[in-house]
Structure 1
Amino acid sequence: MSDSESRHSNTISDSDEYNDDSEHSERRVRRADAIELDRAIEEYVNHSHVSQYDQSLTPAHKYLGNQLRETSGRAVYEEGVVHVLPVIFLGINVVPGQILPMIARSTAMSKILKYAIARNRAFGVSYKLNKNKRTYGTIVEVFEHTDGIENLPRFHAKAMGHQRYEILSVKPFPESLEETIVLAQIRVLKDSTLLDPYSTLCLHPRRRTSKHDEVCRKKDMGQTQWPEWVYKQFDVNHLADRLTDKIRMAYKDVKISDDPDLLSFQAVRLGVFNQEQVSDLLGINSTNMRLQYELNYWNKNQSMQKFMCARKECSIPVCNMSSVFPMSPEGPQGTYCNSWGQIHDMITVTELDEDLDVTSVGRPSEECCWFPGYSWLIILCPNCQNHLGWRYLANNNKLMPRIFYGLCTRSITSTRNYLRDERPDFSDDLIIDY
């Protein structure tokens, strides 16, 4: 064979080998594509069977049963006027718009509910009766309850918070020695909001449009000796925007209200303020001032990133604040009642701290579960055995989230100062009218 023939033969041989390698490579690519397609199909099939938890079930409080009777009408108390109202000291606060579920098993709860339902269905809820400072609370009104409660030792009810009040004086509840219920003289507090501090400065308010707000404001500032930042301190929308930014920095999955008044109450139901602080904040008449206090508190505690065990001399980290997420359209913090009639304020989180090995008590149970489709398990702090809350497990593998946690707000804190009893005092000059 000549050299040219030999080179030609080698070329053909190399070409055949290249073609064989190319065919093998194409087969491998096709095989990989097929495997990837099978995986994609499998993931799609699995995902198509996954169902997200229906958050509308939570505020319905289905664990109270389906036999509750709806009521009609609404009691509205005149603001600034003294009224007599039955009040219960629950150890928690209720804010306007909040639902309060109740299972009346205790004598105190049973008596005040029967008393209220027999009249206009309204009663007051306060955190506790203060001796050295003013006591505030919220009027709640029963809107659903078990029928025929007169002769029942145990019954269920739902109430909603409406108006805020200040307690002026108290006297014992009729035919009762219970210290947690009283008949109180209250004054209903008036809600006031300074909407636009610039409006009185505007030379031509009718000509102002949304496009010219900033331009007009700068011109209006020329009429006053005060700089713009002074007025911004009282601009309710500016305050709401600043507080919203603070909340979003700490919580990633929480929907925030655009209404400044609603935001001022939503901010106290994120696990940041303890019950005494919330009680004091309820005494502030002005939405502007309430937002100022809340914003000031966030500014003083810029380092808030974790929830910790609230028991003194513990302070073990429990979870990141960014783990907070809602299991209800009302937000991540809710009020619930167990089968023994105990009322808990609870905030839901996706996960606990990696280093926190909580102690679990008992076996998963569906009894009186606040989230339909889940079972609960009591969890304790591994350091001090404080009751932190509950672990929730989905009964169906396709229900999402599979696992989440509910933390008692009285068992956690977001600031170490609270652990040392250095609590900020909001009680001075709280009643402020603009």
Structure 2
Amino acid sequence: MVKESFPPEIHTMTRSPSEIILKSIIALLVSRRRRLCSLFLSRLTSAISPPLLVYGWRSILHRFFYTKNQACWLIILTLLTWLPMQTTAGVVLLYHHVDTTTPAITSISATQFEKHLDIIESENFTVLPLNELVANAKEGSLTRKEVAITFDDAFISIYTEAFPRLRARNWPFTIFVAPPFVNTGSLYLTWGQLKEMAASGASIENHSTTHTHMVRRLPGEDALAWRTRMIHEVKAAEAHLAEHGFESSFFAYPYGEYNLELLEIIASLKLIGFGQQSGAIGPYSDLRLLPRYPLAGIYVGEQAFRDKLRSLALPVKPLVMKPLVDKNYRPPLHLTFLDETLNTSRLACYGPGGLMEIVQTKQSLVITPIRDIPVGRSRYNCTLPRGNRYYWFSQLWLRKQDDGTWYPEP
């Protein structure tokens, strides 16, 4: 069975002041519905020209609205469509290589990267430093269109291809670095290049020391030894970055892999963690595991990128599920919505085999795939449309090989 862990309150965002105001407005509209109804109808009927009244339009409106008792709710629903309900979010983009000669699974061409930047600009998004976007999320002051750009692994194409394009727009960005890889050859950045980019607005953050699969124990390693090694992975990288003048407060999990124990380690070290599960940052996001959109390979199309850029955090009860599955290879995902006004019947979730099954219970939606999750890393992705935007949620799963050994990295 997949265990669920609800993180302590300290790890989650505070509720947005705008959300509190919104709920107050809704309550006021409902409580004053009779007065609004009368006012609306009186204005509507007075605006109808006399010739139309000859044909009985006033009496028709009066009879329809009052006998069916629908006017008040029609007005309220109309007004609610004008209100910005949960339309603030912070989106974090994730790139690795900006190159066509590197593995496609972690690469985007320079031409397609440039198109992404053009779309960000044409959609009137504000590109923020990562620390500023996270601070806005923690304070509940995100706007409708805020985005941060990140890169993992300190590959040289960040400097040769991405940096010139970002510098030309004066846009900040973040590089998550495993320090021992710096200065190790033509594939990786040098410390001088990192410092040059930092002087132009880049921030340099922690991506572990050895870029290991942090969820995996070494042969014969017990829980305490593993925990000690993981703390060293993070703290040694932090110290190495500090030696070169980079103070880090964020951590990106290598390969996006995590377990519940790792999340607690990151919280205990007073760091904010980033995964590779899709979605936007919202008021209920877990600071140990903030989402990012990986953009590489077949997942770089322009319309798909617009959808991700515009996405909103799905307003569900905070939960962190153990991603490593054991015997149940079709683990259920339980989503409890915090906004009762949403039409959850339009929720669509995709996983192994395509569209997933969704069952409504008294307390939540239970989502299960139609096929077993495959060996390796996989995700469930759920979206719910709102206008030209989507609420978005993603859950990571890890499955070992059938003999119990870990899968090789492709």
Q: Do they superpose with TM above 0.5? A: no
Superposition TM-score tier, normalisation by shorter sequence: under 0.3
User: Scaled by the length of structure 1, what TM-score is found?
Assistant: 0.23
Larger radius of gyration: 1
User: Scaled by the length of structure 2, what TM-score is found?
Assistant: 0.24
Q: Which has the higher helix share?
A: 2
